[in-house]
């Protein structure tokens, strides 16, 4: 199934209770041949209203980091989430919600075939890398899984709450840029 067909199917998803309270499914956005796949946690209020990932304040910060590294969500990277529907009050997605949503992300991986995946924040890192992954201790490290390199950095919303981490996060994006060049992507 191609990405467009997958998105059409996903927009009608009722695999978990989040479908009851969502306004829009936020499937993902970006190039179908991305240099990097970024994965966040799940839509917030503005994403739920607009149907696109990272469109609120944290999205604006993410776009600044992307711009500094010659990355852009419309041309050379893709942005998705662990869960496609907003958890009420922005709570962490429950294990059963993550599990129910995972087949959509797995299909996105199959279509996008990313060489590099960047996990934005703890929820994505602990779902995609390791359940006990620590962003504070292990951010910026590239971890090979099959044909794909995974790395995690802070969620942009965490950087808005704790600007002191911005320098380290920027370092992770510089390392990402170097990795992209090293792999000739
Ligand atoms: N936070 C996320 O994790 N994902 C979004 O799409 C928006 C905010």
Query: H or E stretch including 139?
Result: none
Give 1 Cα–ligand 1 centroid separation in angstroms: 25
Q: Could you report the per-residue pLDDT of 40-83, keeping only the tens digit for each?
A: 999 999 999 999 999 999 999 999 999 999 999 999 999 999 99
SS3 79: strand
Q: How does residue 119 score in pLDDT terms, banded at 50, 70 and 90?
A: very high
SS3 55: coil
Give 81 Cα–ligand 1 centroid separation in angstroms: 7
Q: What pLDDT score was predicted for residue 88?
A: 97
**pTM, two decimal places:** 0.98
Q: What pLDDT score was predicted for residue 56?
A: 94
- The overall average pLDDT reported for the chain is 98
Q: Could you report the per-residue pLDDT of 133-153, keeping only the tens digit for each?
A: 999 999 999 999 999 999 999
Q: Please say whether the beta carbons of 84 and 25 come within 8 A.
A: yes
Q: Could you report the per-residue pLDDT of 90-100, keeping only the tens digit for each?
A: 999 999 999 99
The ligand 1 atom nearest the CA atom of 53? 6
Q: Could you report the per-residue pLDDT of 160-185, keeping only the tens digit for each?
A: 999 999 999 999 999 999 999 999 99
158 burial (CB, 10 Å; 0-12 / 13-18 / 19+) is: middle
Question: Ligand 1 pocket test: which of 42, 80, 128 has the largest number of ligand atoms within 8 Å of its C-beta?
Answer: 42
Say yes or no: CB of residue 87 within 6 Å of ligand 1.
no
Q: How does residue 110 score in pLDDT terms, banded at 50, 70 and 90?
A: very high
Q: Which of 130, 113, 114, 112 is nearest to 122 (CA)?
A: 130
CA–CA separation, 125 and 88 (whole Å)? 21
Structural tokens at position 43:
């839509």
Give exposure, 35-48, as e/b (b: 16+ Cβ within 10 Å): bbbbbbbbbbeebb
Query: Mean of the pLDDT values across residues 21-31?
Result: 98
Place of tokens 């496609």: 84
């Amino acid at each position: 199934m191609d990405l467009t067909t997958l998105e059409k199917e996903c927009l009608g998803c009722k695999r978990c209770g989040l479908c009851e309270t969502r306004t829009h499914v936020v499937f993902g956005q970006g190039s179908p041949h991305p240099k990097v796949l970024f994965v966040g946690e799940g839509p917030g209020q503005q994403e739920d209203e607009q149907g696109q990932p990272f469109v609120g304040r944290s999205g604006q910060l993410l776009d600044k980091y992307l711009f500094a590294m010659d990355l852009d969500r419309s041309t050379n990277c893709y942005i998705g989430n662990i869960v496609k529907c907003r958890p009420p009050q922005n709570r962490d997605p429950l294990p059963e919600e993550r599990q129910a949503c995972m087949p959509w992300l797995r299909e996105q991986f199959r279509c996008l075939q990313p060489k590099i995946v960047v996990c934005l924040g703890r929820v994505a890192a602990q779902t995609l890398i390791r359940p006990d992954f620590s962003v504070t201790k292990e951010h910026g490290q590239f971890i090979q899984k099959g044909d794909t390199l995974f790395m995690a950095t802070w969620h942009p919303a965490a950087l808005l709450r704790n600007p002191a981490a911005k320098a380290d996060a920027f370092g992770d994006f510089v390392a990402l840029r170097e990795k992209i060049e090293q792999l000739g992507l």
